[in-house]
Each structure stands twice: as C-alpha cells, then as structure tokens.
Chain A
Amino acid sequence: METVELSEAQKKSRRGRNIALGVVLAGLVALFYVVTLVKFGSGIAH
C-alpha cells in the first residue's frame, strides 16, 4: 500500500477545511430543523 506523510501545513489546512465542512453540515441540520418547525408549526398548533 502506497502512503504519504502529510506536512504540517497540509495537516493544518485539512483540519481547517474539515472544521468548516462540519460547521456547514451542522448549520444545514439546524436549518432544516427550524424550517420544519416554521412550516409545520402553524399546522400543529391547529
């Protein structure tokens, strides 16, 4: 199996990208949750 050691700069930038992607995904979950509440909220109240 061919492998490569990442440099410190590559590790740092990958970690930054992973965190950003995590934040975006968490934001999407929250967004869909609140949209569901807003869209169905009035129906449930009735």
Chain B
Amino acid sequence: MTVIDNHEAVGMEGAPRLSEASARDYFELLKPRVMSLVVFTAFAGLVLAPGQINPFIGFIAILCIAVGAGASGALNMWYDADIDAVMSRTAKRPIPAGKILPQEALAFGLTLSAFSVTILGLAVNWLAAGLLAFTIFFYVAIYTMWLKRSTPQNIVIGGAAGAFPPMIGWACVTGGVSLESIVLFLIIFLWTPAHFWALALFKMGDYQAVGVPMMPNVCGEATTKRQIVIYAALTALSGICPTLLGFASLGYGAFAAAMGLGFVWYSLGVLRMPEGDKRMLPAKKLFAFSIAYLFAIFSALLADHVIVQIWLKAGGII
C-alpha cells in the first residue's frame, strides 16, 4: 500500500502513475555503449600520461569520468525526449518508451553529474574535475540544447565533448594539460564528423522527420561525402601525430598510418556511392570501420606504451 501525497504524479485522470522502471532502465539512460568508448579512451589517457597514480585512485578517476559521461547522456535523453520518440534508432529509449518520466531523468542526470564531479575533485584533482564538469556542460548545454537543432556543424563542434575523456584521464595523473593530451583530444575530435555523418547519411529520413539539421539534410549528400573524406584524411594525419611528436614508437606510427589509410579508403567508398542510394552500404561500412578505427588506435597506443615500459625496465635503450 502506498500513500498518495503528490497528485502531479498521479495523472490527470486520477489513475495512479506509479513507476515500473527497473534499475536497468536507469542504466540505459547512461548510454552504456557510448560510455564504453569514454571509459576506454579515458583509461588510455590515464595510462599514457607520464607519472604515477595509485591504482585505486585511477579506478575512481575512470569511474567518475564514466558516470559523468553517463549523466550527460541522461540529460541529453531528458532534453531530446521529443525527437527520440520519432526516430527509429532512439524510440525504444526509456523516456519515449514511457518507462521513465523526463523529470526523473533530469534529476538522475543532475545528481550523477554533481556526484561524479565532486568525487573526482576530492579524490583525484580539481583540474580533472573542472574538465569533467566542462565536458558535461558542453555536451548538454552547448551541443544538445543549442547546436544540435540549429546548425549542420552541430557534431563538428559538439564532438569536442566526446574528445575530452582522454584529456581528463591525462589530467588525473599529471594535474595539467599538455601537447600530448591535446593530440589525443584531436584524434577523437577530428574522427567524430566522419563517424557521425556516415550514420547521418543512412539515417537521413529519421533526422528529416524530426527537423534536426544534420549535414546531409541541409547541405546535401554530395557536400557531406566530400567533407567526410576531408575529415577522414585529417583523422588519419592526427592518428600518426603521437609518433611524429615522439610519444609513440615507429611501430605504432606504421599501424596508425595503415588504419588511417583504411579510414580514408572507406570514406572514398562513401564518396563513390551513387546519389540517392537506398541501402547506403558504403556509409554503413564506414560507420562500422570508424568505431573499429578508434578502438584500434587507442589500443595500439596502449600496447605501444606497455611494450616500451617493459623494454625500458629490461634495460633496453630507445
């Protein structure tokens, strides 16, 4: 038996509106698949940074970055609930599916944002906490509330939010921002447009239906395809920067160059795709490859770093 003391929650007809949302539905609000990429790139930043961090404090740092990213995902779902309900890709999210109320998602997101930033500041350092707070603000206020519905450059600028995690991981160890962490930021920042526009091409109908001005809808397929190739080339170049700047080996550089060529190759496939192609297979292939590319590049950076450390400990000279 439950006492009803809040008639707003009861509904207009007087029928009780009592939640049947499971803990899993709340977890879904955190966009777990996006979070996995955030965790991975933040971990890479943490490991690649010069210096030492207590393993438990490092674990807390990753946890806070993951929860902060999840919180911004929940806030994004709160704000975008109207368009999520229309788009096939997002219609089953907890708010459009009617499992969680928008105000519940808002409270959940704000609470997790406050906790993740505060704990990161108290346990690790306040620069990293400040960067995490800025990332959440950037993703929710700048990207979701402002850019997403107002300019086809939305994901170019908004992509910065997804690029911050390795920089935060780096700041957790060093307490600062350096050229190396900016390069890690750049790799993800330049990768985002090609990755997202590949998706926007084969989900053009969805974005058209909700009026989100994605590049293919506003500037057309041809312009989008050309820009995808340009950003893929820039991503490939940024991918080899760690070697050029001396914080990764030649072996990594060769691998990154090969992966970069693959990225450009798939983007050229999209460029050659006929206008109005219904199946858009090259765009789907590029989207899948772009995810593999980012995981591969950061995995290679990690592997390269570990091999070099083992080599140095064994008395080797670089």
Seen from chain A, the residues whose Cβ lies within 8 Å of a Cβ on chain B are: 1-6, 9-10, 13-14, 16-17, 19-20, 31, 34-35, 38-39
Give 9 A-B contacts (CB < 8 Å), ordered by A residue.
Answer: A1-B3, A3-B4, A4-B1, A6-B1, A13-B19, A17-B22, A35-B56, A35-B122, A38-B54
Chain A-chain B contacts (Cβ-Cβ < 8 Å), number:
47
Q: Does B18 contact A (CB under 8 A)?
A: yes
Seen from chain B, the residues whose Cβ lies within 8 Å of a Cβ on chain A are: 1-4, 16, 18-23, 26, 54, 56-57, 60, 119, 122-123
Contact of B4 among A2, A34, A38 (CB under 8 A): A2
Nearest chain A CB to B124 CB, angstrom units: 9
Report, nearest first, the 6 A-B pairs whose CB atoms are least far apart.
A20-B23, A13-B20, A4-B16, A2-B4, A35-B123, A10-B18
Contacts A10-B19, A17-B19, A17-B21 aside, 12 further interface pairs with beta carbons under 8 A come to: A1-B3, A2-B4, A3-B4, A9-B20, A13-B20, A16-B22, A17-B23, A19-B23, A20-B26, A35-B57, A35-B60, A38-B54
Asked if B19 contacts A38 (CB within 8 A), the reply is no
Asked if B3 contacts A2 (CB within 8 A), the reply is yes
Minimum CB distance partner of B24 in chain A: A16
Question: How far is it, in angstroms, between the C-alpha of A39 and the C-alpha of B54 when the chains are bound?
Answer: 10
Give the chain A neighbours of B123 by CB distance below 8 A. Answer: 35, 39
Give the chain B neighbours of A14 by CB distance below 8 A. Answer: 19
Asked if A38 contacts B57 (CB within 8 A), the reply is yes
Nearest chain A CB to B211 CB, angstrom units: 34
Minimum CB distance partner of A36 in chain B: B123
Nearest chain A CB to B13 CB, angstrom units: 13
Minimum CB distance partner of A5 in chain B: B1
Contact of A10 among B20, B54, B56, B60 (CB under 8 A): B20
Given A14-B19, A35-B57, A38-B54, decide whether A4 and B26 contact each other with a Cβ distance below 8 A: no
Question: How far is it, in angstroms, between the C-alpha of A39 and the C-alpha of B122 when the chains are bound?
Answer: 10
Minimum CB distance partner of A21 in chain B: B23
Nearest chain A CB to B126 CB, angstrom units: 14
Nearest chain A CB to B35 CB, angstrom units: 16
Nearest chain A CB to B11 CB, angstrom units: 12
Give the chain B neighbours of A34 by CB distance below 8 A. Answer: 56
Asked if A31 contacts B119 (CB within 8 A), the reply is yes
Question: How far is it, in angstroms, between the C-alpha of A1 and the C-alpha of B5 when the chains are bound?
Answer: 9
Given A31-B119, A35-B123, A38-B54, decide whether A3 and B21 contact each other with a Cβ distance below 8 A: no
Asked if B18 contacts A4 (CB within 8 A), the reply is yes
Nearest chain B CB to A46 CB, angstrom units: 16
Contact of A4 among B2, B21, B56, B57 (CB under 8 A): B2
Question: How far is it, in angstroms, between the C-alpha of A19 and the C-alpha of B22 when the chains are bound?
Answer: 10
Question: How far is it, in angstroms, between the C-alpha of A12 and the C-alpha of B133 when the chains are bound?
Answer: 35
Give the chain A neighbours of B23 by CB distance below 8 A. Answer: 16-17, 19-20
Contact of A13 among B2, B22, B57, B119 (CB under 8 A): B22
Nearest chain A CB to B18 CB, angstrom units: 5
Nearest chain B CB to A21 CB, angstrom units: 8
Minimum CB distance partner of B122 in chain A: A35
Nearest chain B CB to A11 CB, angstrom units: 10
Question: How far is it, in angstroms, between the C-alpha of A31 and the C-alpha of B16 when the chains are bound?
Answer: 38
Given A9-B20, A10-B20, A38-B57, decide whether A17 and B2 contact each other with a Cβ distance below 8 A: no
Give the chain A neighbours of B60 by CB distance below 8 A. Answer: 31, 35
Nearest chain A CB to B27 CB, angstrom units: 8
Asked if A6 contacts B54 (CB within 8 A), the reply is no
